[in-house]
A and B are shown apart, each in its own frame.
Chain A
Amino acid sequence: MSRQNPTILLADDDPNIVDSLAPFLERAGFHVLIVSDGQSALDKAQSHHPDLIILDVLMPRMDGRETLRRLRRVNVWTPTILLTQVGEASERALALEEGADDYLNKPFDPHELLARIRAVLRRARPGERSLSAAWLLTAGDLSLDRRARRASLSGQTLELTPKALAVLEYLMTHPDEAVTRERLLDAVWGWEYPAGTRTVDTRMAELRRALDDDPSEPKYIETIPGEGYRFVADVHGEG
């Protein structure tokens, strides 16, 4: 597989979606493999070694979540984007727990999917587990225990609201990536609403206060004017 033409395995049981998405992705320069259920996705992922997998959550025979779990169990760390349909927060948290590299709520803008694909591919190191599958994330003095839902700075537990913690989690699992406010809203809140970008800014302010991070000289979270935020520290994953 040449680096120029990465292969994407697209698993979705809705022919309308696949029929439109496949040519779109091919136009963007990807080679696209299509399957319509979880079992075939599992088989193809192991036989064809795609560079990236896009899994719909609701699929016949085996749902996307179970497929991903089984792939990870046999140590297949192909970067994966989950397409969720139900917008519940618990569902999104689960997606991360199962080691999805990113996830997108339907109905999504295909350009957003493309942006996700590119970002995930850029971050991926072939054969290695990604940060999304790590239980403990560390960046300098900051550590985030994802299972215990606890963040600490130099050993001191930080007082964070669950939302702020989820924002930190998303940023730390997507380091060095420009994350827009809309993206955070979709990923963490699962809701999009007109005043939402302010909502994100409020949580970011809370996070920075807790991290004692100066926005003008950020150690962790950098503001990209007009775009969003970026986690600038090096992140290491364990477990």
Chain B
Amino acid sequence: MNKQRWFYLIIIGLPFLLGTLTSVIAQAFFQPVPLVVFKIDIGMVAYVFGIFISLLLAAYAYGMARKEKQLQQSVAEAQRNAEDGRRRFLRRLDHEIKNPLTALRTALVNVRECKTEDERERAIENAGRAVERLIRLLADLRKLSDLGVRPLERLPVDVPELLGEMVEAAKSLPAYQEREVNLLISKVPSPFPPVTGDRDLLSLAVYNLVENALKFTSGDEAVEVRALEDGKAIVIEVADSGPGIPSDEMSKIFEELYRGANARGIEGSGLGLALVQRVVELHGGHVEVRSTQADPRGTVFTLRLPVKK
């Protein structure tokens, strides 16, 4: 660092020194210049030119040094943010693992100490459920880490077909069999254009949103999936009239393992929306959410995917 500063000092000062030197030499060894007749002697030019170049270089060096300092600051800040994010993630992960492990541990004690066959059955069932939860968490974590490295398929995807399939898939879960999901797809004036991407990943994203919508609403609340093309992008919306998301949570819901106040006690890995966001961004699109808790309450997730021109 210090070496660099010396280097700058020498480089900057050099033109000034050289100019001064030239000026002295010129005045000492050549004919002196009369004051009255306005002439600029070569020594003076060199002197002024030297100062000018030195000033220029000094300004440049100052600018560079400032820029570097700013860069260092922003790097440090990014590092701090990443570190914060990592710590937050670990804390949440710890939390997500703690619960099923506690359940598992307790179930094992129950298996060992139970008196009746009924109790034993129940303990084993509980242990199984806890394990299932851990497996689901692990699977979602792997998806998330896999997403960055797995090659993305880039083929035309029929969006209406995909939406239909995912709505059917979500509705086929035992808990949602009675539920109604409206599917609206704009067809006029032109048929729905295909989007280029990875069909499996896109269906994962859509599925997560539809399942979320069903999860956070009850039987009499409506869920709607709609798609249209607005000339620039394909817009897919998954809307529900559920309880809505508190405004202070809106910025965090896409974070990995974040669980909102509404989500406590509702099953899930806390990675569903993070996966949605990652998938959509991999496709060059983005996801937005708007939500109100006051009547008419509800939440709308909007996916925008670029249309291939």
Contacts and interface: CB of A to CB of B under 8 A. Distances in A.
| Interface bracket on B | 20 to 34
Contacts of A163: 153, 200
A107 B199 CA distance: 26
Interface stretch (B141-149, B184-192, B293-301): B141-149
Interface stretch (A168-176, A192-200, A213-221, A231-239): A192-200
Nearest to A106: B138
Contacts of B150: 88-89
Interface in A167-213: 189-195, 198-199, 202
Nearest to B165: A198
- A interface SS class: loop
B146 A190 contact: yes
Contacts of A192: 139
Nearest to B199: A202
Given A88-B146, A189-B200, A190-B146, A195 B155 contact: no
B169 interface: yes
A195 B146 contact: no
A195 B169 contact: yes
B277 interface: no
Contacts of A161: 153, 155
B200 A194 contact: no
B207 interface: yes
Nearest to B166: A195
A162 B166 contact: no
Interface in A29-88: 87-88
A79 B135 CA distance: 28
Contacts of B143: 191, 193
Interface string B209-229: 001000000000000000000
B53 interface: no
Main SS of chain B's interface residues?
helix
A9 B169 CA distance: 41
B153 A194 contact: no
Contacts of B149: 88
A18 to B, nearest CB: 19
A206 to B, nearest CB: 10
B173 interface: yes
Contacts of B168: 198
B58 interface: no
B135 A107 contact: yes
A195 B153 CA distance: 18
B22 interface: no
A167 to B, nearest CB: 12
A107 B138 contact: yes
Nearest to A87: B142
A162 B170 contact: no
A213 B138 CA distance: 38
B187 to A, nearest CB: 22
A191 B139 contact: yes
B203 interface: yes
Contact of A193 (B135, B151, B173, B207): B207
B44 interface: no
8 contacts: A87-B142, A107-B138, A190-B142, A191-B143, A193-B207, A195-B204, A199-B200, A199-B203
Interface of B: 135, 138-139, 142-143, 146, 149-151, 153, 155, 165-166, 168-170, 173, 199-200, 203-204, 207, 211
Closest 6 interchain pairs by CB? Answer: A195-B169, A195-B207, A87-B142, A198-B165, A199-B200, A198-B169
Given A87-B146, A163-B153, A194-B169, 7 more contacts: A88-B150, A89-B146, A89-B150, A193-B139, A193-B143, A195-B165, A199-B200
